[in-house]
Amino acid sequence: MSITASNINKTFGDYRALIDVNLEVPEGKLVSLLGPSGSGKTTLLRILAGLEFPDDDGGGSVSFHGVDVTRTTAGKRGVGFVFQHYALFRHMTVENNVSFGLRAKPARQRPDKAAIKARVRELLQLVQLDGLQQRYPSELSGGQRQRVALARALAVEPKVLLLDEPFGALDARVRKDLRWWLRKFQEEIGITTVFVTHDQEEALELADSVVVMNNARIEQVGDPQTVYDRPASPFVYEFLGDVNRIDGLGPAGVPLYIRPHEIRLCFAAEAPVARSARVLHLFAAGPTARVTLKLDGSDRPLTVDATREQVDDMALQPGDVVGVQWPGQIERAAPPVS
């Protein structure tokens, strides 16, 4: 089921959490809402879920597959929601957690006990937790809890899956495993999924489409490669991946943004078209070497990702003066330094 949010505005008292937000989530896609805390991404997710509602006046609308659901409550929207800290019912067993949505159905639609039990089993098999039916949430690991939360959300056969910082509360290693597991899982069941994250790596590696948010607005929407390679704004540049900002170098004196791997190093002597810089620090991990430089006429350190071979070939040492250049910017480089 596709999701459309049009001109969403949301204020909390005097605070504007969302300003004219437009979002389109195509059916079956995995979309990530990425942004720093306070950017409005969680509020947007909760509005999609029906846990919050847009402003009464000019708040915009939400529709699922063309049907307006702006004022429909969460329970009637058919969404599965996984909370940041999972919000498992702590006094219920895993089985009762997962079956909650089925047991809450009106009597006419409610499956019988045996059917519920079978369905719980099926769901737990899906999230690889069969056999843990009688455990309590406190007896599970973080990753297990998250998968129980997922199974619980899926029990009511939602058309849309919404996840709030799904990996936020997990430690780094479990996070990576679960990330791939979730991607595979989503592809298998083909459910339209939106997840919120503040981790750019997570968004770029996992999502079909990334929605970058900042200050209550959407800055850019695009597939991960586009968003990374062609950021639409300085914010997106700085938020996604490492970037160097060089003041006063772009057209009309605006800052220039260059990723560390886009910069090339050369000997200062070959530098008629390059700017010179002094090496402050060198660190090689694996095939790439991260070189930190002090660019002439700039106070900010400049980081460059060079190959290890190049660093060895040039026999770079801290204190050396080298030339730096970047594609497309060479004509704007400063005059040569002797």
Interaction site with other proteins (CB under 8 A): 49-51, 73-76, 79-81, 83, 85, 87-91, 100-101, 104-105, 136-138, 152-153, 155-156
Residue number with CB closer to other proteins (55 or 208): 55
Residue number with CB closer to other proteins (139 or 296): 139
Task: Select from 124, 138, 127, 141 the least CA-distant residue to 92.
Answer: 138
Tell which phi-psi region holds residue 241, choosing left (phi > 0), alpha (psi between -120 and 50) or beta: left
The distance of closest approach from Cβ of residue 171 to other proteins in the complex, given in angstroms and rounded to an integer, is: 19
What 3-state DSSP class applies to 206?
Answer: helix
Instruction: Supply 64's token pair.
Output: 């699922």
Residue number with CB closer to other proteins (158 or 231): 158
Instruction: Supply 86's token pair.
Output: 């999972």
The distance of closest approach from Cβ of residue 248 to other proteins in the complex, given in angstroms and rounded to an integer, is: 47
Instruction: Supply 154's token pair.
Output: 């899926």
The distance of closest approach from Cβ of residue 81 to other proteins in the complex, given in angstroms and rounded to an integer, is: 4
Which stretches within the chain are classed as H helix? Answer: 41-49, 74-77, 94-103, 113-126, 142-154, 172-189, 200-206, 224-229, 234-239, 308-313
The distance of closest approach from Cβ of residue 105 to other proteins in the complex, given in angstroms and rounded to an integer, is: 6
Residue number with CB closer to other proteins (73 or 125): 73
The distance of closest approach from Cβ of residue 210 to other proteins in the complex, given in angstroms and rounded to an integer, is: 25
Which stretches within 255-327 are classed as H helix? Answer: 308-313
Residue number with CB closer to other proteins (87 or 174): 87
Task: Select from 285, 208, 197, 206 the least CA-distant residue to 239.
Answer: 197
